[in-house]
Amino acid sequence: MSEIFSRTSPATGAALSDVEATPLDGIEAIVAKAREAQASWAALEVSKRVKAIMSVKRRILAKAEAIAKTVHDETGKPEVEALLGEVLASADVVGYWADTIADELEPFEAEIDALSYPKKSGLIHRDPRGTIAVIMPWNFPFALPLRTMIPALMAGNAIVFKPSEVTPRTGKVVAELFDGLVPAGLVGVVQGGGDAGARLCGAEVDLVVFTGSPASGRKVAHACADRLVPCTLELGGKDAAIVLADADLDRAANGIVWGAMMNAGQNCGAVERVYAEKSIAKALTDKVVAATRALRTTDDVGPLTTSAQRDTVVRHVEAARTAGAVVHVGGEPIDDEKSKLGYRPTVLTIDADENPVIADETFGPVLPITSVADADEAVRRANASRYGLTASVWTKDLRNGEALAKKLRAGVITINNHSFTGALPSAPWGGVGETGWGITGSPLALDHLTRPRFVCVDRNRASREMWWYPYTDTLKQIALAFARLRGGASLGGRIGALFTLIGLLPKRMGELKAASKGAAAKTSSK
């Protein structure tokens, strides 16, 4: 087995099954096979594609416990968390798209001005992109790929999926869900590390959907730019929770602790910063510390998934301590008989925007709290991040919360909750800044997974259109009249332009008829 793959479970330390890496020189063949299968798949009626993929939901639910255990073994997250956030959420994704995608793919009519373009109509169709490379990370190894794969396949695309080298076994489970339901080769799998991902980006794919780090995302963007193919990039976050003085502090504390510690904080939508108004900052901190102390390691919060991630967490907490942060709970690794990757859920207070624990993505069970003077300061500091994925506002004044949401530089904002919308298939998920670009979830995702095709039908039987040759002064005057009529003049000027058009159009029709007769005469004389 290649050394690129994790060989022991972060949860138990037990050996994991071997995984065979895909030879780099075999990746192009996998892509070619997917492309070949895609043509016949796209030709099927949408209802037939949906019926085939709908069976994936039944397979997910029937194998729920086994899937959750595989995710637990590879990532370390508690099985109940895998069941809720990955298994059930993914079943919901299948059901949502099965119910909605036919309507979303229905062609719709383009508005065409009948005066300027008489007897013309056009339909806008959503065509599949073709063959899509789906390159996914290890933190949600089951749910994240399916959020893209399900609508992409129902829309008529082929998929070549590269799971993380940290979670290749879960990736294999994802791919096997489609066995026997779709044409052979339509869902291809590439197992390997960054070199395999780079080779896949350079193959003949029509779109790359990537979730990972900003550094890797930039490489994907460059590779796609070289080939002039589109990509979507979801590259992480440093999400802020703003707690106002009127918030329900019990709900805020419990919700923020869950949003920060779920999946051991290894969630691009995790709460990684809290800005609390000064009058309630201490009371909130006390409640957050109490809720964090009540968490049970292993049962509630699993270990970090990789040693590199735990190293990052250690580095960020130590940098915070050096900057004068007060660590209220946690702040140290956990080494037990089973796992060597645990880290105690940590709450600290700090006021240093440039510190790594505030500025950089920690991706671990660490929650920094900062006291601020008011909501304006909270919004300003929340928006100072180079990331912009999600944020939350905690307040009893919902109208004020919604007003603050409009000021936040983030793609997803929740009032009195955090992060859970990633499990809603009907809700868009995406951000700004170094979070990247592109959307998963909601019909907006189809803007990436399909391409528009416009079919225009012209029922005009005249030998020439008004704007065709010959160009004459009459045509120029008609164009100027249109300019006035469309807003380039006062009301009186527009009325005058309309009468001008009425007078000039017959003259122009005569010019075109004469031109056609002249052309016909020249043709017959030959």
Range of the domain at 493: 464-525
Nearest to 246 by CA among 286, 280, 217: 280
Whole-number mean pLDDT of the chain? Answer: 96
Residue 400 maps to a domain = yes
Domain count, the chain: 3
Predicted TM-score (pTM) of this structure: 0.95
Query: What CATH number has the domain bearing residue 332?
Result: 3.40.309.10
**The one catalytic residue among 74, 79, 104, 234:** 234
How does pLDDT run across 370-391, given as a tens digit for each residue? 999 999 999 999 999 999 999 9
Q: Same domain for 101 and 182? A: yes
Residue 473 lies in a domain: yes
pLDDT in tens, 137-193: 999 999 999 999 999 999 999 999 999 999 999 999 999 999 999 999 999 999 999
Q: DSSP letter for 440, please.
A: B
pLDDT attached to residue 1: 41
| Known active-site residue 201 | no
Share of the chain above pLDDT 90, in %: 95
441-466: average pLDDT:
97
Q: What is the identity of the amino acid at 209?
A: V
Asked if residue 522 has pLDDT above 80, the reply is no
Element (H, E) at 357: helix 356-359
Residue 253 pLDDT greater than 60, yes or no? yes
Q: Are residues 395 and 417 in the same domain?
A: yes
Write down the catalytic residue from 165, 268, 361, 434: 268
Residues 154, 48: Cα–Cα separation, whole Å:
9
Tell whether omega for the bond before 78 is within 30 degrees of 0, i.e. cis. no
- Give residue 125's pLDDT band: very low, low, confident or very high (50, 70, 90): very high
* pLDDT level of residue 4 (50, 70, 90 thresholds): confident
Contacts of residue 77, defined as CB under 8 A and 6 or more positions apart, other chains included, come to 71, 263, 264, 302, 305
Check whether residue 156 and residue 169 sit in a common domain. yes
Does 435 map to a domain?
Answer: no
pLDDT at 466: 94
Active site residue 234: yes
- Which residues, at least 6 apart from 45, have a Cβ–Cβ distance to it below 8 Å? none
- What pLDDT, on the 0 to 100 scale, is given for residue 340? 85
| 65: three-class secondary structure by DSSP | helix
φ and ψ at 321, to 5 degrees?
-60, -45
pLDDT score for 3: 64
353 and 489 both lie in a single domain: no
- Are 292 and 396 part of one and the same domain? yes
Amino acid 69: pLDDT: 98
pLDDT of residue 6: 80
Q: Classify residue 5 by burial, with Cβ atoms within 10 Å: 0-12, 13-18, 19+.
A: buried
* Token code pair at residue 445: 């995702």
| Nearest-angstrom CA–CA distance, 57 and 425 | 14
Predicted confidence (pLDDT) at residue 523 exceeds the cutoff of 80: no
Residue 494 inside a domain? The answer is yes
> How confident is the model over 30-49, as pLDDT tens digits?
999 999 999 999 999 999 99
Other CB atoms within a 10 A radius of the CB of residue 315 amount to 14
